[in-house]
Chain A
Amino acid sequence: MHFRGPIGRACVRPVFKPAVAVRGFQSVYHVETPTIDESKLENQILGRAYTKFVPEHGFTRQSVDLAIADLQLRPENLGGLFGIGLQVSDVVNELIMYHLKHTRANLSKYHDEAGKLATEGAKVRFYMQKRLLDNVPIIKYYHQALGRMILPTNLGTFLTELHNLSDDITYYSGDQSNDFAWYSKRFALSGAFVQSELFMLGDTTPDYSATISFMNDRVSDIDTLGYAYNSVEEWAIFNGISLVNLIKSQLARG
């Protein structure tokens, strides 16, 4: 922390360095978080619910029950599967987590395309765009999900997943920072991502072009301004406080 000067003073530094030409994905800081094991019954259920029923019935228990029935099983006797075996307090939270993990894992499909882009900044914007558009099938119900994520009991788990996303995106984009910039960059991206998602809830432009340009601006801001975060703000973002307030105010506006 001593590189940053007195507490409260903004620390500005360039963010996205040009991507290094030849390199695999490797970083001491990046932890491969496990993706979804589709061979497991519970993930098959959540996956079926997510792809087939959430677009119509939202993030609800009903979507999960319909998926169980769709797999030729009975929701009427399988309550214990989630309740006891996995000790999930609420299956709807699991469904939301499935959405987050599934869409994050989906990013790996785009590495080839991303590889053609010249700069780290361009790659970040590209991955962010792909990730945002993955919200489209369920966007109608996404406010339900956001409303649940910011509940105090859920916040920790969902924030971790949000930071995992920022971590993956910066990492896939060729970030090699290994000092405190590592954290700052990810917090900044998490913030930009959530702001873009909230923007998206009210976006009526075809193909969500307004959301995409909103996101591009946010990411470019980070790029040109550097991380204008002092440690207090950073702490607030890490603990989700500013994100929670942001989401709350947006959801309240409808």
Chain B
Amino acid sequence: MTGIWRTNLRHVNTISRQFSTSGTGMKESMTHFGFKTVPQEQKEQLVRGVFSSVASNYDIMNDVMSMGIHRLWKKHFIEKLDCGMRPNSSEPLHFLDVAGGTGDIAFGLLDHARLKYGDNKSTMVVADINPDMLKEGAKRCLSTPYANSPRIQFLEQNGEKMDAIEDNSKDVYTIAFGIRNFTDIQAGLNTAYRVLKPGGIFACLEFSQVDNQMLDYIYQAYSFSLLPLMGQLIANDRDSYQYLVESIRKFPNQETFASMIREAGFYVPGKGYENLTFGVAAIHIGVKL
């Protein structure tokens, strides 16, 4: 499935450059791959390639991108969502963590529910487009309390469609640092709305736009110059890192993203998001009513 794209982005570069210079017949369905313009269907392949090529160095990558803070953000995200089946309840919660990759968020959510509410029943589906990331997640799962448990399931799925997930079937939809990689973000949000039950919650943790000019300048300078270099040193994969950085800059700002969540049909409370670390990342939520 992943074919030649799996190995390295250097291939991809040559090909996308060909596309952008050859011109004819490509105009209708071009999309962004970082700052490069590529045909729609291809982005899915390209993104798959990026994450395959960084799968093994995945944590280091996230550490570099967030200056190490992503762990705290994830912890905050999970605590603020504060989900868990209550002892007096008879109906488990059904979680879906999309772009769940290595399972960080999934294990964290289940831990929170178990430790805070004594929830040993709720279920978790980890969905990701990339089988390598899922393999990594399944491997890590073995060293958690959920090893070999029917409560957790790893599924290869494109978050824009989620063919394997029924309508109105989930209570909690989470996605962390994943949605900016979608070719069609709105389709991803619409799908989230589709799979959630009425009363279900959508929550997204994603890199966002820094809300202070000076900080923004520093962060951009950091991410555009230092980061790809570190990427090269760490992963020997400069192009993948470059893509990741650029995809962050391309992602809609907080307000725009909140209005896309509304557009999908969600009720968005208040301004609908919380900035983390001056907006380097943000959490957005929506409730399906």
Q: B215: CB under 8 A from chain A?
A: no
For A77, give the chain B residue with the smallest CB separation. B171
Residues of chain A lying within 8 A (CB to CB) of residue B268:
85
- A–B Cβ pairs within 8 angstroms, 10 of them: A41-B267, A73-B199, A76-B93, A76-B171, A79-B81, A79-B82, A81-B269, A84-B273, A85-B285, A85-B287
Tell me whether A40 and B93 are in contact (CB under 8 A).
Answer: no
Q: Which of B83, B273, B283 contacts A77 (CB 8 A)?
A: B83
* A87 CA / B283 CA spacing, docked (Å): 11
Given contacts A77-B171, A81-B285, contact A87 B93 (CB under 8 A): no
- Interface positions of A (Cβ within 8 A of B): 40-42, 72-87
Residues of chain B lying within 8 A (CB to CB) of residue A77:
83, 93, 171-172, 199-201
Q: How large is the interface on B (under 10, 10 to 19, 20 to 34, 35 or more residues)?
A: 20 to 34
Tell me whether A81 and B287 are in contact (CB under 8 A).
Answer: yes
Given contacts A41-B267, A76-B83, A76-B89, contact A84 B285 (CB under 8 A): yes
Tell me whether B81 and A80 are in contact (CB under 8 A).
Answer: yes
Tell me whether A80 and B203 are in contact (CB under 8 A).
Answer: yes
- Interface positions of B (Cβ within 8 A of A): 80-86, 89, 91, 93, 117, 171-172, 199-201, 203, 267-270, 272-274, 283, 285, 287, 289
For A74, give the chain B residue with the smallest CB separation. B199
Residues of chain A lying within 8 A (CB to CB) of residue B89:
74, 76
Tell me whether A83 and B171 are in contact (CB under 8 A).
Answer: no
Given contacts A40-B269, A77-B171, A83-B82, contact A72 B287 (CB under 8 A): no
Tell me whether B270 and A85 are in contact (CB under 8 A).
Answer: yes
* A80 CA / B284 CA spacing, docked (Å): 9
Residues of chain A lying within 8 A (CB to CB) of residue B171:
74, 76-77
Residues of chain A lying within 8 A (CB to CB) of residue B274:
84, 87
A154 to chain B, nearest CB (A): 19
Residues of chain B lying within 8 A (CB to CB) of residue A42:
269-270
* A83 CA / B172 CA spacing, docked (Å): 15
Question: Considering the complex of A and B, which 8 residue pairs feature the smallest CB-CB distances, nearest first?
Answer: A79-B82, A85-B269, A83-B80, A86-B270, A73-B199, A77-B171, A80-B81, A80-B285
Residues of chain B lying within 8 A (CB to CB) of residue A73:
199
Residues of chain A lying within 8 A (CB to CB) of residue B285:
80-81, 84-85
Residues of chain B lying within 8 A (CB to CB) of residue A85:
268-270, 272-273, 285, 287
For A40, give the chain B residue with the smallest CB separation. B269
